[in-house]
Amino acid sequence: MTTINQEEIQKFSKLAEEWWDVKGKFKPLHMFNPTRIEYILEKTSTHFQRTNKEFPLKGLKFLDIGCGGGLISEPMSRLGADVTGIDASLKNIEIAKLHAKKGDLKINYLNTSPEKMIENEKYDVILNLEIIEHVEDVDLYFRSCAKLLKKNGLMFTATLNRTFVSFIKAIIGAEYVLRWLPIGTHDWNKFLKPKEVEKKILDLDFSIAEVKGLQFNILTQKWKQSNDLSVNYIITSVKN
């Protein structure tokens, strides 16, 4: 049993060189990042009652699954977190290691998948950001996450809703019209509705803290938090 979808890994491995090119294939993620970071920081600081303004994540162990080139791992590290980033693509991990070294950041990057991680290594926070729509076995994926998270730990799951609106915006708009992403980046049939994700998480003895939409304003070219879950959304859950 595995969460690794080889076709998906090959797809992202081909793009690995572009992870840190803000005008390249991953431009949408670079635009997305400030809102994701702000949200994660806000929820984590509140949950763990962090008051250190300079390093609000100091002392917390983060696991960034499907870390790619390190776009989220690096800011979390700079904010004080002890970060482990994992990715099934060796090429992604090599790019991430090289970039972290340039920035003098100590991030533990591993070429692996969550079901292969050592279970006695537990984390305070697990980041599943734009990853579950690319995995082979979502149920195995979440079971693996549950085993790796400490009790009262936080898990952030950001993904795309399976709606008509998401098909128009995330597939037709982002891939075919605006060419933000290579055609074929996403398979709409693999998108999960919030209630479907919530059920999988609740069945593993988690509680749902919040479900929030993330919305792009085409006029300002910026992302913001929203109550609209029709396209991008993020679920914050707590392990009981």
Going through the chain in order, the beta strands assigned E by DSSP cover 61-65, 82-86, 108-110, 123-129, 149-160, 206-217, 222-226, 232-239
> What is the rounded distance in angstroms from the CA atom of residue 117 to the CA atom of residue 40?
23
Tell me the pLDDT of the chain (240 aa) as tens digits.
889 989 888 888 888 889 999 988 888 889 999 999 999 999 999 999 998 889 999 999 999 999 999 999 999 999 999 999 999 999 999 999 999 999 999 999 999 999 999 888 899 999 999 999 999 999 999 999 999 999 999 999 999 999 999 899 888 877 677 677 777 778 898 999 999 999 999 999 999 999 999 998 878 889 999 999 999 999 999 999
Q: In what order do the strands lie in the sheet with 232-239?
A: 108-110, 82-86, 61-65, 123-129, 149-160, 232-239, 206-217, 222-226
pLDDT on residue 178: 67
Q: Residue 33: what pLDDT? A: 94
Q: Which domains does the chain have, with CATH numbers?
A: 6-239 (3.40.50.150)
Residues 6+ positions from 220 with CB-CB distance below 8 Å: none
